[in-house]
Structure 1
Amino acid sequence: MARVCDLTGKRVQVGNRVSHANNKTKRKFFPNLQKKRFYIPEEDAWVTLKVSTSALRNITKNGISAVLKKAKADGYIVY
């Protein structure tokens, strides 16, 4: 399973680990993903999503329906 947020599309980023001597080696920055169940009242169903913590904050602020609608419009969800 890919480390990608289902709602925002956040994924692993690549960068450099820089030592004190300024040596550079490749490293990965992983998104903070959590597996979470959400209840969607319009569909009367529970959905399990892998979401980033920033997406969880958006869901708390705007509601799951609005966030799902925006994710579908942005092309992250196809159903």
Structure 2
Amino acid sequence: MAKVCQITGKRTQVGNNVSHANNKTKRKFFPNLKTKKFFLESEGVWVSLKVSTSALRTINKKGLEATLVDAARKGTLAL
């Protein structure tokens, strides 16, 4: 699976390693993703999501239901 957060849409970014001699080589910046299971109370089922740690904080703050609705509206949610 791709390294993409299902809530925020964060994905791998590309940049450069820059040495002391100012040589540049390509590198990747990976998002801090965790696979986490959440209990969706309205449906009564467990949902497994690949989320970034910042998305975990958003879920804790707003709740799972509201966060899923926002992610579906943005188009980042892929269940």
Are residues 23 and 54 of structure 1, via their aligned partners in 2, closer, same or farther at CA, if it must alter by over 3 Å? Answer: same
TM (normalized to structure 1)? Answer: 0.95
Q: Where does structure 1 differ by over 2 angstroms across 4 or more consecutive aligned residues?
A: none
RMSD between superposed Cα atoms in Å: 1.1
Structure 1 residue 77 displacement after superposition: 2.0
Q: Is the 8 A contact 2:32 2:52 kept in 1?
A: yes
Give the count of matched residue pairs.
Answer: 79
> What letter matches 1:59 in structure 2?
I
Q: Unmatched 5+ residue regions in structure 1?
A: none
Q: Indicate the percent of aligned positions where both proteins have the same amino acid.
A: 62
Structure 1 residue 43 displacement after superposition: 1.0
Q: Hey, what does 1:36 align to over in structure 2?
A: 36
Q: Unmatched 5+ residue regions in structure 2?
A: none
TM (normalized to structure 2)? Answer: 0.95
